[in-house]
Amino acid sequence: MRALVRYLIRLRKTDPFYAGYIGMNNIPIVRKLCVAILFGLFAQIAVAEPIPLTSQERAWLDAHPVIQIAPDPDFAPIEYLDENGEYKGIAADYAALIEEKLGIQFTIAKLPNWDTVLEKAQAREVDMFGAATASPQREEYMLFTEPHIRLPGVIITRDDTSGTLTLDDIAGRRVAAVSGYIWFDLIGNDRPNFQMDSTPSLTQGLRDLSFGNLDAIISDAATATRVIRTEGLTNLRIAGDTGYETALAFGVRKDWPELGNLLNKAIATITDEERASILQRWVSLDQDLLSQETLFIIAAGAAVVLLITLGTLGWNRILSQRVAARTRQLDAAQQELLAANVDLEKRVRERTKRLQRALKQLQASQTQLVQSEKMATMGQLVAGVAHEINTPLGYVYNNVQLLTDFVGKVDEQTNACRLLTDLMASTDADDEQISSQFENVQRLTAELTDENGLGETMELVEDSNYGLRQISDLVLSLKDFSRVDRANEDGVDLHQSIEHTLKISHHVTKNTAEIVKSFGEIPKVRCNPSQINQVLLNVLTNACHAIQNGKGHGTILITTEADSDYVYVGIQDDGVGMQKDVGERIFEPFFTTKTSGSGTGLGLSISYNILKQHNAKLRLHSRPGKGTLFKFGLPIKTVDRNADDSDQVDRDNIIDLVAES
């Protein structure tokens, strides 16, 4: 069937009626094709060949080796750039034909859209349009050849309109055309009040129309049909004629009239056969668009019997093509859905990844904070302990120096004694020598025992021993205390933990509070001793600060007791106490009542977490002006908890907060 049509078109050229008809405007291509079927049988074949050029023309072409043609990249099937960036379409074929006839080669300027083409043409950065309509505006900077393509402008609407519409019918509605297209110039020149919006591309405009964002699109029928089909926009129809047509021609920059003349010369030699061949390549029968009128013409031109047969076959074909088209649309819709789904999944994955990253960062900074709190505590501790050590170190040094002097004197006295006994044993020594040495020994002995010297010396030795023991105790406590990250241990004696902590914090407590201990009988428990020490130190330090902020000097009562399930440790101070609002917040990270720089605000928050991890009971009782009791109970029988289910412990279960205002 297709081969037949092609043959008929090739033959139609010689018939004058046919030639006149085909040259007429406003006649749909399909109708022209039908006419071709009727008249084509009598046509003859003609062949195109290069045309002779004058020497001036040849010289001009030689002087201009590069002629840039700038197509509209999205104006299929008139002209467009395909997915490989190749210049395609009706205009492209005309351009190729002209290249052949003139023996030249155009350079294709690949620009993103028509607006850019116009811009570049005005700037003389490109030299030619492939297919454009002349308008007074464009003729300011471009010359136009004889038109080679004619396209009627149609009104496209959704299929909820009925009848044939004119521009008057759609005036005042939301009408749009592709930005920069000739319709603005043509319609605007005659109807300055006709409002038209710009749409960046025909595809976009028709989509907006289909979705109800626009009421009508002005376009040529050919390109619009193609887009409607490829996009599957089934709810659109060609509702009427604008009364304008675009006669597309080559545009040539205005300062190159020689090229315009050359093109016109070449266009004049294009045969109808060549025209038809081009047209046939790009416009195929589209049965979707066959109007009743067209079918009538076909029927009238063909035999009645054939018509019935063909009509039946055609109808079947229409149906099957419609089914195929609908299937294609459904496929496309499904593809789109799948693509959307994939996109959604991708976005969810990305979001999840981002959240995980954020979580990891949070965890890292939490660890860092806990670590820095620990370091700050350790720093204060070490500074305090250093002071505690410096004092015994001071007198031990001093005493050793004194003892060294003392030993020197003892040595001197011993030597004097030995000399005396030697003299006494010697037969040569005279009495005077002996008595002089005797006096010497007496004097040295008196010096040694002077002012209770020996007793004092013994005291210095004892003091030094005491001091050294104190230093080693402190160092041991510090070592014990700071054995961080030790796992849970069985058989931890909380009394020992309390004693260690008291020793370590002695420099804080000694000038602030008297420590009163009331220890009960308690079993050993399973816990992480260094963590419990940290809690004890923290609570003790807070107790001291509470006393310092209150009366300055007070008492801290430390009690221990046990019932069948828990071992309890209570630390009671008689400091400033807390208001209820403070009491409720003290376990929050970064909450602090201390001046900036004197506390991280993390101490109690960390203590709280440590106790939570130990499944501990916690009780806080505070009365402003009277003091605070901090009491916690460690379970005697424990199960090691996973860090994961730590959140399952309800805060209310472990805190019994009583703060009175």
Residues that bind another protein (CB under 8 A): 383, 386-399, 401-402, 451, 456, 459-460, 463, 466-467, 507, 510-511, 553
Least spacing, CB of residue 443 vs another protein, in Å: 15
Residue that is written with structure tokens 């009971």 in the block: 617
Least spacing, CB of residue 512 vs another protein, in Å: 9
Based on CB atoms, which residue is closest to another protein, 10 or 507? 507
What lies within 8 Å, CB to CB, of 333 at 6+ separation is 232
Q: How far apart are CA 71 and CA 79, in angstroms?
A: 6
- In this structure, what DSSP letter does residue 291 have? -
Based on CB atoms, which residue is closest to another protein, 273 or 388? 388
Structure tokens at 243: 């009364």
Based on CB atoms, which residue is closest to another protein, 463 or 480? 463
Least spacing, CB of residue 626 vs another protein, in Å: 23
Least spacing, CB of residue 351 vs another protein, in Å: 47
For the chain, how long is the longest CA-to-CA vector?
Answer: 176
Q: How far apart are CA 185 and CA 179, in angstroms?
A: 11
Based on CB atoms, which residue is closest to another protein, 405 or 489? 405
- Name the 3-class secondary structure at 570: strand
What lies within 8 Å, CB to CB, of 22 at 6+ separation is 12, 32, 35, 36, 272, 276
Contact at 8 Å (CB) between 524 and 491? Answer: yes
Q: How far apart are CA 592 and CA 603, in angstroms?
A: 9
Least spacing, CB of residue 582 vs another protein, in Å: 26
CB atoms within 10 A of CB 168: 9
Least spacing, CB of residue 547 vs another protein, in Å: 13
Contact at 8 Å (CB) between 557 and 513? Answer: no
Element (H, E) at 71: none
Burial class (CB in 10 A: 0-12, 13-18, 19+), 596: exposed
Least spacing, CB of residue 379 vs another protein, in Å: 13
Based on CB atoms, which residue is closest to another protein, 450 or 660? 450
Based on CB atoms, which residue is closest to another protein, 23 or 455? 455
Q: How far apart are CA 152 and CA 244, in angstroms?
A: 6
- In this structure, what DSSP letter does residue 646 have? G
Based on CB atoms, which residue is closest to another protein, 350 or 411? 411
Least spacing, CB of residue 598 vs another protein, in Å: 12
Based on CB atoms, which residue is closest to another protein, 447 or 493? 447
φ and ψ of 96, to 5 deg? -65, -40
